[in-house]
Amino acid sequence: MTTFSEIRRELAILENYKQLAMITQLFPLLFLLMTPSTDHDVNPISDFIDKDIEYLSEFYKQRHINAEISLEEKETSKALAAEMRKVGYEVTEGVGGYGIVAVMKNGDGPQILYRTDMDALPMQEKSGVDYASQLTTMWNGEKVGTMHSCGHDMHMTTWLGTARALASMKDQWSGTLMFIGQPAEEIGAGARMMLDAGLYERFGVPDYGLGLHCNASLPIGQVATVSGYIMANTEMIDIKIKGVGAHGASPHQSIDPIVVASMIIMEIQTIVSRNIKPIDDAVVTVGAIKGGTKHNIIPDEVTLQLTVRTYKEEVRLMIHKRLREISRGIAIASGLPKDLMPEVIIPENFTPSNYNDPALTANFMTSAAKAIGADNAIYTEPTMGGEDFAWYGKTEHDVPTMMYWLGTVPPEKLEKGENPGLHSPFYYPAVEESIRTGVQVSTQAMLDLMK
Ligand SMILES: [Zn+2]
Ligand SMILES: [Zn+2]
């Protein structure tokens, strides 16, 4: 027999069940309302890349196949100009050799320079990819292959991808885009050529300058940079050492320039170790010794070819001073007369150090973290390599600039040590992944600067 209170208890339990059932039904809805939507829903950049990736990959392969070396970038720059016109940029060609400038104005706001270089290197590709370079060129009187072994084809592709993405999102930024295609980076001449052709006078002084470079030891999906100096002053210096030639069997009748050269080489090793402040960075490398013809002739001239790398101007000038003093001092000690003193030939043209503006770099890192996750946007060490991008920040206008490294190597290749460096005939970036990260990060960085 069921009592009244038992019935009431049963009814209460039933009521609880009903409430629970209602909550359970509502729960998925509540869950949806409380959870932020996924990146994919709110990220127009990755949506754009999804649609564009095939187009950009094909563009990349075309550039790779048709690799044109420094000062020969005729078809490359034509292709870039045509692509930029297609998406609404106003393009000027022939700005410093084959340099191009593509401008898009979209209301008030900052003007941002975004640079790609365009040139390849004279070398035979051995990467084995089915889109390997098919061009040849004449180099020192010989026919050689050409190759985008520094990844400038990937620079052009991410540059185009960023330009296309921003052109499709004009409602989300305001300002002026100044995309430049630079020739002749590999010979350290192109940036100067474009600036000397009136880049800033004709197209306006940008508020910021951005650029990237492929990295052969950074995994795909990552970018890296440095706040402050990221790449070094790069100088090519020759030392011409004179001597008095003689028969190899009569050294007493000579002042042997090979011995003088040897002493100079050993002595200049003390510049970095004894003359430069221990906390400053510098490299003095003798890369070539040229002198003599035959076993039994003491020649009358030897040339040394050096590369000198520094960050600071005072360190650079200190090295010049010591190279002159050491060469002259050793020549005098060897008994060479005044008219046979060594000549230290320091060209005025050199590639200056790249200084990443700290404030711009901090902004960039925030944007990069937003685009690809904080774990994938990392600070790294500077290198003693050189890049003529530096010139865009070294005019009298003091434009704040920054460069970043783009990861191009699949992690499994890195683990096995199968990652040939830049300028290797075996180097090639992972195509789609590198394009995605480059476009994602550059577009986000530029959007954030032009909000
Ligand atoms: Zn290079
Ligand atoms: Zn390069």
Task: Give me the DSSP letters along 318-365.
Answer: HHHHHHHHHHHHHHHHTT--GGG--EEE--S--BPPEEE-HHHHHHHH
Tell me how far apart the alpha carbons of residues 9 and 151 are, in angstroms, rounded to a whole number: 77
Domains observed in the chain: 42-232+353-449 (3.40.630.10), 233-345 (3.30.70.360)
Question: What is the Å distance from ligand 1's center to 172 Cα?
Answer: 35
- pLDDT category at 208 given cuts 50, 70, 90 is very high
Question: What is the Å distance from ligand 1's center to 117 Cα?
Answer: 10
What average pLDDT score do residues 55-78 get?
Answer: 98
What average pLDDT score do residues 285-298 get?
Answer: 97
Question: What is the Å distance from ligand 1's center to 70 Cα?
Answer: 11
pLDDT at 16: 53
Tens of pLDDT along 177-195?
999 999 999 999 999 999 9
Question: What is the Å distance from ligand 1's center to 73 Cα?
Answer: 15
Question: What is the Å distance from ligand 1's center to 277 Cα?
Answer: 30
What is the CB neighbour count within 10 angstroms for residue 322?
Answer: 19
Question: What is the Å distance from ligand 2's center to 151 Cα?
Answer: 6
Question: What is the Å distance from ligand 2's center to 123 Cα?
Answer: 14
Ligand closest to 122 (CA) is 1
Ligand closest to 116 (CA) is 2
Q: What angle do CA 195, 440, 394 make, to 5 degrees?
A: 20
- For residue 101, which of 2, 183, 14, 187 has the smallest C-alpha distance? 183
Residue 11 has pLDDT above 70, yes or no: no
Question: What is the Å distance from ligand 1's center to 203 Cα?
Answer: 27
pLDDT at 15: 53
Tens of pLDDT along 217-276?
999 999 999 999 999 999 999 999 999 999 999 999 999 999 999 999 999 999 999 999
Question: What is the Å distance from ligand 1's center to 435 Cα?
Answer: 19
Question: What is the Å distance from ligand 1's center to 189 Cα?
Answer: 13
Ligand closest to 214 (CA) is 2
Q: Tell me the whole-structure pTM to 2 decimals.
A: 0.84
DSSP H helices, 180-312, are 190-196, 199-203, 257-270
pLDDT at 33: 46
Quick one: the chain helix, strand, coil %, rounded to 5? 45, 25, 30
- pLDDT category at 349 given cuts 50, 70, 90 is confident
Task: Answer for the pair 316, 326: CB distance below 8 angstroms, yes or no.
Answer: no
- pLDDT category at 39 given cuts 50, 70, 90 is very low
